[in-house]
Each structure stands twice: as C-alpha cells, then as structure tokens.
Structure 1
C-alpha cells in the first residue's frame, strides 16, 4: 500500500471535468457497468479520457463524484479493477499502475477500506510472439558481472568505478507493485533488423516496458550473487529458472578464484550452454589477459569441456559450436566497450534452448500481495502457455493437496500480457488463494492435470566435493527447480565418497513438492556440493 499520497492529492486537486483526463468512481461492478450496452459507452468515455491526457488517464476509485473520500472494501476494489481492465481493453488501452491508500476510520471506528489511483495508458497489452532468451550470470564478487550487464542493457560505457552497475542493484522500491516479476535484473532486445534496443535508465519501469514493446527478440539476465556465503542464492538463480545460457565472468586482474570454480561447476553440472567473458581487460596488459585465458581453458578442459576463443574463431563458429561441451570465450571491457558488440551479436543470434511445447507448468520463485489485485506468484514458465482467465492448480500445499485458482492477469517486465509461454519471466496474479498460502517451490499446472505430491524420490548423484564420506542420514539442502529444502540422503550401499557416482533415496524434511523423473538438482551442505538426477518418485 502506498504511503506518499501525492498522486492521489494531485488527481483530486485537478478534479473531474468535461474533456479532462481524470475520472472519479466510487466503484465499478460487473453486474451494473458491463450490462445492457454500458461497456461500450464506458469504454468510449475511457478512450476520451486517455486521448485528453495525451495517452494517459487517471481513474480515482473509492471517491464520490465531487472527489470526497468514501473508501471501498478490498473485494469491491478487486472487482472494480477487473471491470476497469475490461473497459481498458475495449478502448485499446491497459492499466499501467495502481496505487492504494488506507482511508481513516469513521466516527464509529469502522474500517472504510481503501482509495486508489489507477493509471490507464494508451495501447493494448503486449503481444509476446517474439523470441526471448534468458541468460543466467555467474562469477566472483567484484569481477564485473553487474557492470558488464549494465553496459549491455544501456549501451553506456562504465566510468571505471562500476557506475553502470548501480542501475542493476535490486532495491525494495523495484518491487513496490509486486506484479513486476522482475526476477531478471536486466533486459534488452533487438529489433527486426537486428539492431539493439536498450534502456537509457533501467530503474524506470517505462524504459523496460518500452524495450519489451519495441523488440522482436528479448534477452533477460537473471542475477546471481558473487559472494561465497550466498552460494545458495546463486544456485537458486541458476537451477530455479528456465535458463537458455550461462554467462560466467572472470576478471582479467584477478583471474579464476574458488568461487569461479564453484559457479563453473554448477553451470556445467546443470548442462547449461555457457559463455565465458573475461572482464576488465582494460585494467591489465595483453600478457595478463592471455594468462587468465589459459587458466580458464585449463579449468574447462579439466571439466571435459572445449574452450573456443571467439577472437580467434569468430562469432559464426561460436554460434554453430556452442553446446554443453563447447564454451566460447570473449574478451570484454565495460570501460572501453571491447567485446560488447561481440556479445550483442551472440545474443541476437543464439537459438533459444529452453522451449517446451508441453502442458503449462511453472514453479513459483517469489510471492507478493498487491492491494486490489491479491496474491501474485512470479517465476519462469517451464513449459506450455498460460492465459489470463485460465483455471489452474496450485500446490502442493503442506498436506500434499493442490488448490484450484484462476489467473487474474499476467505481467512481464512491467507490461501486462495476454499470455506467456515457456521461458518467459512473469508475475501471475491469482484469484482464489491468499498470498500467505503461496510459497516458493510450489507449482502452477493446468486444472485437469493429475499431479502427485512427492516427499521421497530415488536419484543418481555425483559428489563434487565433500571432506569425508556421505553416509546414511546425511542432510544437505536440495535445489530442484525453485525448491530449496533440507533433505536426508540414504545412499545405496550406505555411503558415497568424493568423486563417487551412485544411487540414493532422498527425502524432504518438511514439505512435499512436485518432482518428476529426469529433473536435475544440486545439493549442498557447507563446503560439500553435488549434482543429481531424479530416477523415480514415491508419491506422498
């Protein structure tokens, strides 16, 4: 709920007048305002307001015709927003933003609900028939990951002090609406001619929405954390999203570190096609850059991967050869912009790898509650498509059951969309559930699906690092899709040693989840890490 009432005060001060862009409504109801042809007349009125405001209209809800604060209950506000959304669509517009404020109680102390301001903008909801690749970034802290991405998405050279990084720092205000689903910390695109479409200021919602609207192809970057203590967050970013590619940064002045090796191991273990960007090449001489490249090449060959120098072999070769075994390497500098045009050409032409035309499925990564909208689940669509109005199943709940919900609306990068397909990072507003009942690791599925909640499963695992042996009852954290849950391991034969590959039974300690055969996961506990593949499941 918004605290600064400036937007509300400005709208009431401007007032509702003939030919103006402000409209006062105490409430809108489906039975009254969508019946007997009123939809057409109200849509025409809305269109007039939008045109009067040069493409933007303001609807103040919960006020009387003269601007007096009346207040409106949460359910009535939700219905009002539903009706306003339908009117906007009819008028060739869309709701761009909603702010709400609590109304002071009356003399009798009764709750008077809220008053809200909805901004309606010209233009229908976004058509997402474009390709959209999602890139997971990784690398040691201070190796220039955020700075590199900041320069890519803005086209601005860095000042040598990490200035472009500041655009990508995640602040609380970035999720003030809750419906942004901004899992990615940067987005840019390419138009029909292959020319980059960038943001001048990624902190502005309008800039991001403009990139999404103008691009024929989108590139989203999913952030990970470079600090060693937050490796869990990095794993969540790399395993929990439906990524197409990995981008590992290695600073030329520092070279590969322990964290670099950890992140590379996770990228390769999850079989994600990966690009290595050697950053900060302006800060050292050519001999040092070559030395770091040789170190990275040794790391890759040690992991049975083939490094491919883009400078030596060209972009065409990188696009043709990149896969789970061939890793292109690019020299970059966010200060001189060296290598960034090469990355542009790669991202503009690399094929999408994460497409899936099966039934809709999405694992929940974050949840929000938005006043007037309700519960919002955000994540990356794993497969299939989802549309506004679809009836879905959400779960499993703590008891293993799945609850019926309805898709109220969908947003992607601050822009409302009619539907979302596999690989899209979206926020889905849900009807029929409280935000408190939605948690990360749950899944959204078609209503006619017959999902089974799983507490235990069998897996084939590889121990990447462990100081001693893994015995019966070993308790790591398992990262599978967006699930991050403590589990117990019960290895076949009683133990697993570092470097071993073997079978184990895995049991979640606290909640059941949707687990399917063939899914890959990462497990960790302290300095111990490993990867696995689900081989069979045991329904709850």
Structure 2
C-alpha cells in the first residue's frame, strides 16, 4: 500500500468525532453550502476541526457520513474544493494539500494509484484535503527571478541546486538532481526542459530547501522567507537551444546568470546565450564554475577570456573578488557585468552569490493590467486545467474572471481562476514576476497551448498574424530575403514565421525593418516586445514596432 493511500485509510479509520480533526463530506456546492447562514456555520465547524487538530484538520470528500466510499465526478469534486477553500478562508485557514483517488462506483474499492480517476462511467473521486491554520500566504514585493544560461555541463543546474539547498556537490552533479524533471534527464545528466527552483532570505540569512525531494519543503521556503529568489534553469545542450530561448525570452526575469566552466572556458554556446541575454536587455552576472577542478592560473586565463568576450559586445566586466559586492550592486546594469568565481564542490563563491541575490533590487515592474503568457499546461485530477507561466504585469486573484486565447481561430474564451499555486504553496494572489500555476474553470486542458495569454475579462485583445519589427541579424550564412522562415520566439510563443525585409534583404550584421507573418495562427503581440529568431545556425534579435490586426 502506498504511503499516500495509508493517509486516506487512517483518516477513514479515525472517522468523525466531536472533538476530532477529521470531517467527512460527500460533496459541497455553492447553491447549498454557501447560502442561508450555512457558510458561517460550516466555517465555524471547520475552525473547530482545525483547533482540535492543533492547527491542522483533514477533510475527506466523496464519502458518506459513516466513511463509505461514494465517489463524485471530477466537476463536482472541483466545485467542492472551491467551496472548501472559501470556508477555510472564512475560518482564517487554508487548504495546504489535496490528494485524490479513483473509486469504482458501488464496489467500495480504491484504485491502486492516487489520482487515476478520469470521470469515466462507474468511477468517481475520493479526495483528502489537508487544512492548516492561518490565511493563505501573501508573497513579498521584492521577489527576484533569475534566468540561468550557459553551455552544457558547465554546471548551471548544479550551482543552482547547491545555492537553494546549501549542500556542497559530490563532484558528479548530485545537487543537479533537484532540478532535473524527467527520468531520462537524471539518467543522462542533461537537462532537456526548463526547471524551476526557489530559496529566500530572512533577517538571519538564507532560507534554503531542507529536503529537495519533498515539495512541501519548497513550499515552506516560500512561507518562511521575507525575500524570495526564483531560478528559471535553462538548457545548455545545442539541440535544446529553442528551450533555452523560451526560458530567457518567455519569463519575466529580473537578472541573467551566465555560467562558464573554468575547465572549458567560453564556447560558441556561451556566446549564443550571451546574445539572447543581450537581446532581452537583462542585467547579467557571470559565474565562473568548477574553480576547484583547475589551477589558479587556468581560472585567471578563463576570467580574461570572459572579460574579452564581454568587451566585444560592449559590456564592462567587473571582478567581484577584486572590487567587492558593494561595487557590483552599485554598477550592475546596462553596461557592467559582475564576474564571480565559484565552486559547487567546495562552495567557494556561493556566499558572494547569496549576498548579491539577497541585496539585488527587483528590476521588473508590476505596472499595467494582468497578463500571463502560458508556458506549460497540466490536467490535475480533481482540479482540472492548470496553466503555468510567469505573470508579466499586474496581478491576479483566486476567483478572477479572465480571457484566454487566442484560440487557433483568433477568438478569446472566458475562464475563471479556481486557485493559484507558487512553488507548491497556494497563494491568494500573484503579482508580476511570480512563476505560478493557475487552475482554470471553464476550459479543458487540451485547449491550452503554449503561447496563449491570460488577460482581464474586460480586455479587448486583437490577435495578429503579422507585425512590423526592427531586427538585427547576428548570424546567417548568406542573406535574408522575402519568405525567409525562421522560428520566432516572443514571450512563450515559438512559431514559424515568414520575413519580408523592407529593403528586400538583410545581410549578417545588418539592422533593418521587416514584416513578420506567423505561418499557422494568430497570437497576441504588442509594440515594444523583444523577440529572438532562429533557423539552424542563423540567429537574430528584434523588437516589435507596429502591429497590424486583421491582416
């Protein structure tokens, strides 16, 4: 029997008791349980259960009053969780975690694995909701988001893993396992998709993840820290450059962290990733990793190579070891790039990065109406469709009505925010810069696509198939002419598009105007947005200068 299954069995065995912390509910509905005084009565009942359990209560939903397995359909279960969340809020508590099991109707038997129910005939859901005392978390206004970049095997994920856990690496990238999200990534030691991590700071210093394998520990960091630092860890291997671009362009980052290994030095990939960071105009820090693996002379050589690379693109390097953290904090910006020597094995330089991340000011703004481009989507049993991404502007709250789109035909669809989660911690609202998952009511997960956007319900968006842009060609073997079709990476959009240069062609190193037309469908594009385009080894950057709805 799985550990998760044991939790449900124990709750059913304990049963409902007058002075106990367990409550059975077959279902909860807005029409029945939130009207005519029922809301206040049920909230008082919930408060009693929480106090009886020393700040924690267990609600088992989808069972009869005597603990029999009734099972309810997924939509009814989702509504029950919505109502339970409102009751918890009324009682100054919050839902900390929800687990679900499939149950075969009339058989009184649970499926062997949690979360298997699909709502097919004869099956329903039984769920266990853990309720904890205290209002839903309010996050700080100085939440800083860092995007990593750098060549494969230069130690990006390992460095981030050591930072957020405080653990020295074993020399084989052991702390990297915290970030790699696919089994084949762990097996091969290569990241193939974006990973996310978080740690924070309070008056006593860093607040780190105690046990990376427990998502509750990551949520605890969000709960305890006064200041949060999130990492979007990108991919260093050439075949996944598209994913790296998505991580650096499609997130609302405050800073870039470019990693260069001391045993290898700057590579072509290093230069490409630096070009993407420059295109997004991110203030950037360079971390020279693996200094434990080479001589001091080799570290000095690589540091000079990095300085030369930065000067070649118009940046001024600043060695933090020589000039200090205060100078780095004061100078980092449009032209100055601090350089820090680090080792995840000996932890040299990690204290410098800690101090920088603790004191760096947030650069992105919360101004404007809510907007979030979807990066990933999930179907969560008992919850429904979940859209994941970075809030680009404004803020969103549970219960908000939003617009989702554009759909392939250009229309937008009305949806409602069921709940919001940030690094496994449920929050009542999310502001610009937060990496969140938003559970949506009114849409199936199959309708969600990367590149779609969530907007306020009163917005009047005009999706476009084409736009005008100012572009710079960074690398191309010949020339770009009419009909050239690279992939355009704009926010989380990654779509083939045809270029039609104003002068008929663009050569390597040229800057000029071009019309850009998406090949397959419209997207929401706005003036001033930055993008990267790529086709094979051909690459360039651009800025949207004019949108042309309806073409």
Instruction: Report TM bin, short chain.
Output: over 0.9
Give 1:129's aligned residue. 140
- Residues 253-332 of structure 1: matches in 2 within 5 Å? 253-332=263-342
Task: State the distance in 2 between where 1:21 and 1:161 align.
Answer: 46
In structure 2, C-alpha distance between the alignment counterparts of 1:343 and 1:331, rounded to whole Å: 10
Instruction: Decide which of 354, 357, 360 is 2:364's aligned counterpart.
Output: 354
Q: Give yes or no for the alignment of 1:389 onto 2:419.
A: no
Equivalent position of 2:116 in the other structure: none
Which of 129, 142, 152 is equivalent to 1:118? 129
Out of 506, 517, 521, the position equivalent to 1:511 is: 521
- Aligned match of 1:177: none
How far, CA to CA, are the matches of 1:482 and 1:53 in structure 2? Answer: 44
Superposition pairs of residues 345-494 of structure 1, within 5 angstroms: 345-494=355-504
Given that 2:499 and 2:517 are in contact with CA atoms closer than 8 Å, whether structure 1 keeps it comes out as yes
Query: Are the equivalent residues in 1 in contact too, given 2:16–2:22 (CA < 8 A)?
Result: yes
The residue aligned with 1:241 is 251
Between stretches 154-163 and 481-490, larger displacement belongs to: 154-163
What is the aligned partner in structure 2 of residue 56 from structure 1?
56
Question: Do 2:140 and 2:228's aligned partners in 1 also have CA atoms closer than 8 Å?
Answer: no
Q: Secondary structure at the match of 2:240?
A: helix
Aligned residue runs from structure 1 range 133-152, under 5 A: 133-152=144-163
Assess if the C-alpha contact under 8 Å between 2:486 and 2:533 holds in 1. Answer: yes
Does structure 2 conserve the Cα–Cα contact (< 8 Å) formed by 1:394 and 1:442? yes
**Which secondary structure does the structure 2 equivalent of 1:365 belong to?**
strand
Deviation at 1:482? 0.6
Question: In the alignment, is residue 153 of structure 1 matched against residue 164 of structure 2?
Answer: yes
Structure 2: distance between partners of 1:272 and 1:361: 20
8 Å Cα contact 1:189/1:218 also seen in 2: yes
Deviation at 1:194, TM superposition (A): 6.2
2:208 alignment counterpart: 198
Unpaired stretches in structure 1, ≥5 consecutive residues: 173-181
TM-superposition CA deviations, 1:244-269 (whole Å, max 9, x none): 00001111111111111111111112
Residue pair 2:498, 2:516 contacting (<8 A) in 1 also:
yes
Spell out, residue by residue over 1:324-380, the C-alpha distance to the aligned partner (whole angstroms, 9 max, x if none): 211100011111211111111111111111113111111111111222222111111
Separation in structure 2 between the aligned mates of residue 4 and residue 42 of structure 1, nearest angstrom = 27
Partner of 2:19: 19
Q: Residues of 2 paired with 1:184 and 1:322: CA distance?
A: 25
CA-to-partner distance for each residue in 1:237-294, whole Å, 9 max, x for gaps?
0000000000011111111111111111111122111000000111111110000001
Q: Is 1:88 aligned with 2:101? A: no
- What residue in structure 1 maps to residue 188 of structure 2? none
* TM-score with structure 2 setting the length: 0.92
1:31 aligns with 2:31: yes
In 1, the alpha carbon distance for the partners of 2:215 and 2:29 equals: 30
Separation in 1, partners of 2:539, 2:10: 56
Deviation at 1:425, TM superposition (A): 0.8
Which residue number in structure 1 is paired with residue 343 of structure 2?
A: 333
Q: Distance in 2 between matches of 1:374 and 1:166?
A: 29
Verify: 1:185 aligned to 2:209, yes or no: no
Q: Which residue of 2 aligns with 1:176?
A: none
User: 2-side partners of 1:509 and 1:106: how far apart?
Assistant: 52
Secondary structure of 1:453 counterpart:
coil
How many matched pairs? Answer: 529
Q: Does structure 2 conserve the Cα–Cα contact (< 8 Å) formed by 1:70 and 1:112?
A: no
Which whole-Å CA distance do the structure 1 matches of 2:56 and 2:522 have between them?
46
Report deviation, 1:9.
2.6
Counterpart residue number, 1:68: 68
1:40 aligns with 2:57: no
Q: 1:183 to 1:3 in 2, by over 3 A?
A: farther
CA distance in 2, matches of 1:431, 1:378: 14
Of 524, 533, 538, which residue of structure 2 is paired with 1:528?
A: 538
How far the C-alpha of 1:513 sits from its partner, in A, is 0.5
| Structure-1 separation of matches of 2:310 and 2:123 | 63
Work out whether residues 410 and 416 of structure 1, in 8 Å CA contact, stay in contact via their aligned partners in 2.
Answer: yes
Give the alignment's TM-score, normalised by structure 1. 0.94
In structure 2, how many angstroms separate the alpha carbons of the residues matched to 1:369 and 1:413? 17
Q: Does the residue aligned with 2:465 lie in a helix, a strand or coil?
A: strand
- For the residue of structure 2 that corresponds to 1:408, the secondary structure is strand
Q: Is contact 1:63-1:69 (8 Å) kept?
A: yes
Paired residue secondary structure (2:245) = helix
Gaps of 5+ in 2: 108-119, 184-192
In 1, the alpha carbon distance for the partners of 2:242 and 2:10 equals 45
* SS of aligned partner of 1:242: coil
Q: For the structure 1 residues 339 and 390, does the alpha-carbon distance in structure 2 shift closer, same or farther, using more than 3 Å as the test?
A: same
Question: Is residue 2:221 matched to residue 1:211?
Answer: yes
* Aligned mates of 1:257, 1:27 — CA distance in 2: 59
Cα distance per residue 1:268-325 (max 9 Å; x no partner): 1221110000001111111100000011111111111111111111111111111121
What is the CA deviation profile of residues 376-399 of structure 1, one whole-angstrom value per residue up to 9, with x for unaligned ones? 111111111111121211111111
SS in 2 for 1:113: strand
CA contact (8 A) 1:240 1:483 kept: yes
The question of whether the paired residues in 1 share the 8 Å contact of 2:256 and 2:277 is answered with: yes
**8 A Cα contact 2:194 2:244, kept in partner:** no
